[in-house]
Structure 1
Amino acid sequence: MIRRTAWRAVLTLSCAGVLLAPAAPASAGGGEGKLTVNVFREFAATGNLNPQIQTALAGAKIRVSSDSTGMTQDFPVGPNGTITLDFPTWKRTGGKYKVELIDWPNKYDPATGTGFLQPAFAGAGLSSYLNFVDLEDEQDVTLNLAVWNPDDYCQDNPTLATACQQAATKPGQKTLVTFPYNSRGDTPGNTTNPRTIASVPATGALYGLAYRKKDKRLFSGAYAKRHTVYGPGGQGAIYVTNPATGTTSLFATVPNAGTTPHNQGNRVDAPFANQPGKESLGDIEISSDGSELYVVNMNDGNLYTYDATLATAGAPKRTPVPIPDSACSPPGDWRPMGLGVRDGVVYVGGVCSAESTQDPTKLRAVVWTYNPVTGTFGAAPIVDEPLNFPRDPASDPTPGNWKPWTQDNLANFPMGNVAYPQPMLSDIEIERDGGLVLGFRDRFGDQSGLVIPNANPNGAVESTVTGGDINRVCRKSDGTYHWEGSADCPRPGGGNEWFTGDTYYTGTGHRETAQGALALPLQQNTIASTTLDPWRVINSGGIGWFDRTTGHRDAARDGFGVVYDTDGGFGKAHGLGDLELLCDEPPVQIGNRVWLDDGGGSQNARYDETLGIKGVTVTLKDSAGQIIASKKTDAKGEYYFDHRDGLLPNTDYTVEFDKTTADTSTLPAYASNVANLKWTPTTGTDPATNSDAVPAGGNPLATTAVAHVTTGPPGSVNHDLDAGMWAGT
């Protein structure tokens, strides 16, 4: 079709009858500027540019087109996520280009369900995946484009859940509690924060937690800890709880999880001191899409998978897979426990316990990757690190170095020790760049307790101090992993550990207070860890928050008490299990652009169509016509609605455009009269560039036009709701 361009020179026909393209406008500056495109992986839903929480995305591809010349070329973005272009050989473009982000690693394909990265929210700092730029008169333009995995989303102040491990002969009853992420301070006697959602009769002792955000269900797994009781489902129980109502039921029973019973009458369950880390369940995690639940069985060393969409699961979804023990010498000292999940990969961690040899040089931390699609582990572990390095004291002045696990002969169980740290790799979090944060639980805290007989038949009554840890493992761009303190993973500011401040608030007494459970919200810069004495009250367990960039924690301020010796806790021994973020489902976004059209109904990179129209009022209405939100287009003619405006997924809306408020001061003279601007017809075939706005009453000169839209599933964006206006006849 011939586009109507009444305000320009009329196209002329050559003698051969061929339509000739108009000459491109002359460049007053004598040339074009440069185009810089930065591509990021995004982790929030704001549309803002925030280099602190965005990582450069290598391997992306952009497409640049000139509608004036018909030229199109694809360009690979550099390994640092950036490309800068000029176009000295692209003649007669007028400096007008269409720029699209067309491909990137792990691109989500809705047809096949493969991949996981899709276009992210746009806004003040991040542009949409399709843009129109004008480089005329030596104007340089920078575009910041982003993609995200919606499963990474979490709200700014999410609810945290943890498991309280209650002593069998004490009055405490709470086993699952929740509290806001920003909670701080001590809470003895507080009945609302933390809030109890499950108790001992419903669950017994727990460790692993996993949250299915699609239906807001919290899964929890049984745990073997001395001087506790199992719940009604026994050693292999997985429970499911509604955090809103506290309703708890048995979800599944993992087979072959152990047979050793508790016996509180035998020196307060002393023989059970041999079982922590060897029976019952370790960590549990939910898959990124919420369809599968992964469970470590510490008794048989297998990874189990259950269908998380079911109300109850009678059997595993697939045959349990042995977690490789080949990194340990001997293999029988392999003790798996921790899990992490991100981008469709399951991370499984454990330790070589050195129990059989009692040789500290054989203590190792090991992490494997597991592919749930193929049901296979990697050919080699991604982390295989000795644990016989110097550590701070768990209780001054006793050195806190990791020790081999105690053997089953209780006559050799260490006596008279306040601290005897034994590593359990109990939790794994995955950083934005693919690096790992590893949480280490001290097994001694599960073998002992507060004012309790030593497990050794000859031992006295003692109280235990745990000495867990948090360690960083960096990931390089070549896919290799490096332990903190190495040349490829230097600690912030030097020092002997990445995460500092894991001390009592005075900085003395206890200097390895971390207790092994972690929660890492990717849109923030902190990580939460279970700790002993997190605030001021001693003999307590709770949460400490660490800065992930500096590794620092202000122990005088960044703590929250959860469980105390007065309500069934274990004092400075472990009283808490896993930590879990109860994140909302990812939000959705709609919108994009009101532009100055040439009358053809599709956005193009020619003439003045790169110009957006500022100040147009855009109103979001629900299916009943009620106003949800209203805003004006920005200098680029763009607008966006999302969860901050009340937008919901899978919902019908109307978007109304009102031209009467348009700011035409930056438009050409021919388009300066708002009253003469017409709504462009919706004649194009590409949803990304079409005009979607239908004028009221079918009158192109109407003051308003509307577009109808149904939002997509959680995490989706629709930046194709555009409206064109033109000034032709």
Structure 2
Amino acid sequence: MWNKTILKHWQPLGLGALLLSSPSVYADISGKVFRDFNANGVFDTGASFKEMGMVGVTIKAFDATGAEKASATSGVDGTYTLNIADSADYRVEFSWAQSWLKNGSAGGTSVQFVKGDASNVNAAVSNPADYCQADPIVSTTYFWPLVQDTTNPTLVGVPYSAGVTAPSAEAYKLSSWQDVAPVTFGESKQLGAIFGIAWNRKDNYLYAAAMKEQYVGFGPGGRGQVYRVKINPADGSAVSAPEAWVNLETDLGLSVCGSHGDLANAGYSDAEFDQVGKCSLGDIEISDDNKSLFVSNLTTKQIIEISTADGSKLNTFDFPLNAVDCPNNSTTSIRPFGLSYKDGKLFAGAVCSAEESKDANDLRAFVYRLDNPASKTWTRVTHFDPGVVRENQYETGKTSWEAWRSAWTDAGGYYQGYESPMLSDIEFYGDDMILGLRDRTGDQIASGIIIKGTTINGVATRGDVLCASYDATNETYTPETDNPNACGSHLASGVGRGDGNGEFFWGDGNTSASSHEEITMGNLAVFGGSQLMVGGVNPAYPFGAETANSGGILWLNNENGAPLKTYYLYENSAVSNNSKGNGMGDLEALCDPAPIEVGNRIWQDTDGDGIQDADEAGIDNVDVTLTCGTETATMKTANGGQFLFSNKTNATFMEADESCKITVAAAQAPLDGLSITTQNADGILDNNPVTDLRDSDATSTGEITFTAGSAGENNHTLDIGYKSIPVVTTDVSLVKVADKSEAKRGDTVVYTLTAANAGPDTATGVAVTDQLPAGVTWVSDDSSGAYDKTTGVWTVGELLKEDSKVLHITVTVN
């Protein structure tokens, strides 16, 4: 009996089209790398919100063979050009050295596939600490002199979108400048005097630090207390009352001088007067990862690093006391206060107070950067005379700062002022630095107090806002006191004011008269892309209006220094008594955690090497599933095989540091004729979002396991390659013969089955079905178990070209 079967198997090669059609002419590959502060993937340049280019990013183009063909570095505006000589296919890779810089959300990813004539090949990058939603709550503090133990609001919040440019009713009415009521987070009796505040966006805690503010007094925790309150940033409501979180003095055992009682109605003393700016706490700042809170201890001139997890002391950094910073070579006169944290680095500011020499010419301001926390190495990054661009002071007529003094010596009366600087706050707009200088006298006296028998009926204090431009060559900052055009060119367009020197942020005072030209309180806030927010005295002055003896927030344009809008927090009354003094503390935007996004591409690996080559197309319309725990989300690939899951949009369940997986089911039409390509062909196994860029990461079953990053740590390197199942041609035959042509009952018969493959390819998975005929009984076979006598299936397995296998089956005739 002959039984010949010829089996042939084939699959189509290739699918999809090239990503971009070829034009008749070519141009270089070009685009922009930008800092995407709001994580929308778009380079925003609006009036109230503006993003900027990212300098120093390396961009490389690789051809279809994997050879590097061009390289460039993004310029100061983020633009770049790759010099390409043809319009062929290229893989473009973006890379950077800064560990704090992450792939942006929604924008072009760090690996893109384009033609050699492509433009607008953009890439979004971000520091997660810069992210903020469109309209966050902005928190601040304000003081209630002489009325300490009250329910008056002390820690409050208002929307960033609040504020007006003109009064809606009478110019002198508070309601004319307050378009929405502030939300109270903490009261005077719960907190006392507060300056420094910091926001933990990971745990939704707002921290607030005690301050020595004469005639206001400390809160229940005293001079070394850091408070915290939990807030719902969605609606700006306080989840809990303020709690005494960590006390530097009683919990950490640190020296914090000052009078613990310091009641608001205490009488004047030289000792209390002189403690301002020297005792208790100054500015506070939180690290980019929200794990550390840095507190400026004015007493010991140290910055204390505290764990936000348990309140323990992690480190102590001595502020650099370098005599060369002060003209009189006095380290005693160095008075630190302001802090900032930018791109993984801590910045701390101070002034030379000239309190020993009593010579205003000895005043200086400077900022240090902590470059190595382990060795506690600091680098001075800017140093300047704060009085060079000082404007006219209302009532006093002064255009300079005064040396710090230890006692009040002036006569009483209205609008008393003696301007002496504290470098109270540091912020950044892009790479440029913004400095807040606070008038110390505004924290030493208050309206209505009696000093040495004389009543102070009004206070006139003036802070300042200065800027310093970044010098990338030296990694330092050039202050506008040294270069009037350091942070802008408004002087060139004729907007100089006051003493003729002018300032970049010229909108921090009256724009139509030679008075009230310095109205700020040294408290600043900038979140990614936003305009500068400062606290100001009578903050409607820049708009030609006034609510007498009031205070609030003033918005200034980071592009030209102009005033944008104002919001009034308070006006003079029997309970505030702030007059035109320092009535407010720090400002802080309550930003959400940055989104977490994962993706990126499913592609056809034409050459089957497991690496994404420039000419290998993506596969669209493939269903991709993200699973974290028991929750899942599914989306289809598009735009060249791309897929992206974000916990802000289509995968809200994905949490930071959570174990997740990406899966792709095999039975999908776009994947017909394809199978998973080689996994981890480049030898990188960890799915690292920075280094694991080009290979396929999936197992043979289409699964990638990974751990989601921290907030804003996006992973755009989860790629899956598919190769074509090759065409297989075989010629498999089966021959069956018996050793007897005739047999009677009881005879033994041996069947011989021969399976052969004439090629040209190897046959795999060969199986033969051969049921025994009726009238015989199986006795044995030599298949070693490969033959099933019940089903009659002989599992042959693999047959090489020109190879054969033989099976003998012994039966008896019934």
TM bin, normalised by shorter chain, reads 0.7 to 0.9
Is the 8 Å Cα contact of residues 392 and 399 (structure 1) preserved in structure 2?
Answer: no
1:481 and 1:134 map into 2 onto residues whose CA distance is 40
2:465 and 2:484 map into 1 onto residues whose CA distance is 19
Structure 1 vs Structure 2 CA RMSD: 4.0
Is the 8 Å Cα contact of residues 164 and 206 (structure 1) preserved in structure 2?
Answer: yes
Name the SS of the counterpart of 1:151 in structure 2: helix
- Which of 530, 535, 540 aligns to 1:530? It is 535
Name the SS of the counterpart of 2:676 in structure 1: coil
TM-score of the two chains, using structure 1 as the length reference: 0.78
1:215 and 1:563 map into 2 onto residues whose CA distance is 34
2:146 and 2:401 map into 1 onto residues whose CA distance is 28
Shift of the 134–684 alpha-carbon distance from structure 1 to 2, 3 Å rule, reads farther
Could you say which residue in structure 2 is the equivalent of 1:173? Answer: 152
Is the 8 Å Cα contact of residues 35 and 84 (structure 1) preserved in structure 2?
Answer: yes
Amino acid in structure 2 at the alignment position of 1:393: N
The offset of 1:342, in angstroms, is: 1.0
The offset of 1:592, in angstroms, is: 2.3
Shift of the 32–311 alpha-carbon distance from structure 1 to 2, 3 Å rule, reads same
1:378 and 1:319 map into 2 onto residues whose CA distance is 10
Alignment of 1:95-110 (within 5 A): 95-101=88-94, 103-106=95-98, 108=99
The offset of 1:305, in angstroms, is: 1.8
Name the SS of the counterpart of 1:289 in structure 2: coil
Could you say which residue in structure 2 is the equivalent of 1:593? Answer: 601
Alignment of 1:633-648 (within 5 A): 633-634=638-639, 636-642=640-646, 643-647=648-652, 648=654
Is the 8 Å Cα contact of residues 351 and 365 (structure 2) preserved in structure 1?
Answer: yes
Alignment of 1:84-95 (within 5 A): 84-86=81-83, 95=88
Shift of the 329–47 alpha-carbon distance from structure 1 to 2, 3 Å rule, reads same
Alignment of 1:689-700 (within 5 A): 689=694
Q: Once the two structures are superposed, what CA deviation does each residue of 1:290-341 show, in whole Å capped at 9, x if it has no partner?
A: 33322222233x213233234333x563465554454123313222211111
Could you say which residue in structure 1 is the equivalent of 2:543? Answer: none
Alignment of 1:319-398 (within 5 A): 320-321=318-319, 323-330=321-328, 331=330, 332-371=332-371, 373-378=373-378, 381-389=380-388, 391-395=390-394, 398=396
Could you say which residue in structure 2 is the equivalent of 1:159? Answer: 137
The offset of 1:589, in angstroms, is: 0.8
Is the 8 Å Cα contact of residues 401 and 421 (structure 1) preserved in structure 2?
Answer: no
Is the 8 Å Cα contact of residues 262 and 269 (structure 1) preserved in structure 2?
Answer: no
Shift of the 421–188 alpha-carbon distance from structure 1 to 2, 3 Å rule, reads same
Alignment of 1:17-28 (within 5 A): none
Is the 8 Å Cα contact of residues 499 and 546 (structure 1) preserved in structure 2?
Answer: yes
Is the 8 Å Cα contact of residues 517 and 579 (structure 1) preserved in structure 2?
Answer: yes
Name the SS of the counterpart of 2:434 in structure 1: strand
Shift of the 599–585 alpha-carbon distance from structure 1 to 2, 3 Å rule, reads same
Amino acid in structure 2 at the alignment position of 1:473: A
Q: Unmatched 5+ residue regions in structure 2?
A: 1-9, 165-173, 232-238, 497-501, 541-545, 682-686, 688-692, 728-814
Shift of the 483–28 alpha-carbon distance from structure 1 to 2, 3 Å rule, reads closer
Is residue 2:427 matched to residue 1:448? no
Is residue 2:518 matched to residue 1:518? no
Alignment of 1:491-502 (within 5 A): 491-494=488-491, 495=496, 496-502=502-508
1:192 and 1:30 map into 2 onto residues whose CA distance is 58
The offset of 1:142, in angstroms, is: 4.9
- Which of 542, 553, 574 aligns to 1:543? It is 553
Is the 8 Å Cα contact of residues 120 and 148 (structure 1) preserved in structure 2?
Answer: yes
Shift of the 631–401 alpha-carbon distance from structure 1 to 2, 3 Å rule, reads farther
Shift of the 594–263 alpha-carbon distance from structure 1 to 2, 3 Å rule, reads closer
Q: Once the two structures are superposed, what CA deviation does each residue of 1:552-598 show, in whole Å capped at 9, x if it has no partner?
A: 113xx332425763553523211211112222222111222344553
Is the 8 Å Cα contact of residues 38 and 82 (structure 1) preserved in structure 2?
Answer: yes
Could you say which residue in structure 2 is the equivalent of 1:306? Answer: 305
Name the SS of the counterpart of 1:272 in structure 2: helix
Is the 8 Å Cα contact of residues 43 and 523 (structure 1) preserved in structure 2?
Answer: yes
Q: Once the two structures are superposed, what CA deviation does each residue of 1:134-173 show, in whole Å capped at 9, x if it has no partner?
A: 33xxx34552234332222222222222222222336553
Shift of the 678–151 alpha-carbon distance from structure 1 to 2, 3 Å rule, reads farther
Could you say which residue in structure 2 is the equivalent of 1:55? Answer: 53
Amino acid in structure 1 at the alignment position of 2:67: M
Name the SS of the counterpart of 2:442 in structure 1: helix
Could you say which residue in structure 1 is the equivalent of 2:470? Answer: 475
2:547 and 2:306 map into 1 onto residues whose CA distance is 42
Shift of the 192–626 alpha-carbon distance from structure 1 to 2, 3 Å rule, reads farther
Structure 1 stretch 540-549 or stretch 322-331: which is displaced more?
322-331
Shift of the 287–326 alpha-carbon distance from structure 1 to 2, 3 Å rule, reads farther
Is the 8 Å Cα contact of residues 393 and 467 (structure 1) preserved in structure 2?
Answer: no
Is the 8 Å Cα contact of residues 416 and 459 (structure 1) preserved in structure 2?
Answer: no
Is the 8 Å Cα contact of residues 284 and 295 (structure 2) preserved in structure 1?
Answer: yes
Shift of the 489–28 alpha-carbon distance from structure 1 to 2, 3 Å rule, reads closer
Could you say which residue in structure 2 is the equivalent of 1:147? Answer: 125
Q: State the identity as a percent.
A: 26
1:625 and 1:678 map into 2 onto residues whose CA distance is 30
Could you say which residue in structure 1 is the equivalent of 2:104? Answer: 120
Shift of the 129–508 alpha-carbon distance from structure 1 to 2, 3 Å rule, reads same
Is the 8 Å Cα contact of residues 439 and 461 (structure 2) preserved in structure 1?
Answer: yes
1:95 and 1:306 map into 2 onto residues whose CA distance is 54
Q: Once the two structures are superposed, what CA deviation does each residue of 1:627-659 show, in whole Å capped at 9, x if it has no partner?
A: 5x857623x443423223353334566768799
Q: Once the two structures are superposed, what CA deviation does each residue of 1:64-123 show, in whole Å capped at 9, x if it has no partner?
A: 4334x45346735265555534455x9xxx92332223x4232x3xxxxxxx22332243
Q: Once the two structures are superposed, what CA deviation does each residue of 1:681-711 show, in whole Å capped at 9, x if it has no partner?
A: 243325645567899xx8xxxxxx9877653
1:714 and 1:615 map into 2 onto residues whose CA distance is 29
Is residue 2:254 matched to residue 1:275? no
Shift of the 678–692 alpha-carbon distance from structure 1 to 2, 3 Å rule, reads farther
Shift of the 235–413 alpha-carbon distance from structure 1 to 2, 3 Å rule, reads farther
Is the 8 Å Cα contact of residues 426 and 517 (structure 1) preserved in structure 2?
Answer: yes
Could you say which residue in structure 1 is the equivalent of 2:29? Answer: 35
2:244 and 2:298 map into 1 onto residues whose CA distance is 22
Shift of the 645–6 alpha-carbon distance from structure 1 to 2, 3 Å rule, reads closer
Shift of the 632–414 alpha-carbon distance from structure 1 to 2, 3 Å rule, reads farther
Is the 8 Å Cα contact of residues 602 and 642 (structure 2) preserved in structure 1?
Answer: yes
Is the 8 Å Cα contact of residues 257 and 280 (structure 1) preserved in structure 2?
Answer: yes
Q: Once the two structures are superposed, what CA deviation does each residue of 1:219-273 show, in whole Å capped at 9, x if it has no partner?
A: 2221111111112332222223323312412412243222346365664678633
Is the 8 Å Cα contact of residues 539 and 571 (structure 1) preserved in structure 2?
Answer: yes
Shift of the 216–723 alpha-carbon distance from structure 1 to 2, 3 Å rule, reads same
Is residue 2:81 matched to residue 1:71? no
Is the 8 Å Cα contact of residues 218 and 263 (structure 2) preserved in structure 1?
Answer: no
Name the SS of the counterpart of 1:590 in structure 2: strand
The offset of 1:429, in angstroms, is: 0.7
Name the SS of the counterpart of 1:368 in structure 2: strand
2:311 and 2:283 map into 1 onto residues whose CA distance is 19
1:308 and 1:464 map into 2 onto residues whose CA distance is 39
Structure 1 stretch 438-447 or stretch 176-185: which is displaced more?
176-185
Q: Once the two structures are superposed, what CA deviation does each residue of 1:388-416 show, in whole Å capped at 9, x if it has no partner?
A: 335333425x4242332453244457866
Is residue 2:198 matched to residue 1:210? yes
1:411 and 1:84 map into 2 onto residues whose CA distance is 64
Amino acid in structure 1 at the alignment position of 2:222: G
Q: Which has the larger radius of gyration?
A: 2
Amino acid in structure 1 at the alignment position of 2:562: H
Is the 8 Å Cα contact of residues 443 and 582 (structure 2) preserved in structure 1?
Answer: yes
Shift of the 221–347 alpha-carbon distance from structure 1 to 2, 3 Å rule, reads same
Shift of the 131–190 alpha-carbon distance from structure 1 to 2, 3 Å rule, reads closer
Shift of the 406–417 alpha-carbon distance from structure 1 to 2, 3 Å rule, reads farther
Shift of the 723–45 alpha-carbon distance from structure 1 to 2, 3 Å rule, reads same
Is residue 2:207 matched to residue 1:248? no
The offset of 1:424, in angstroms, is: 1.3
Total equivalences in the alignment: 655
TM-score of the two chains, using structure 2 as the length reference: 0.71
Is the 8 Å Cα contact of residues 217 and 263 (structure 2) preserved in structure 1?
Answer: no
2:248 and 2:71 map into 1 onto residues whose CA distance is 53
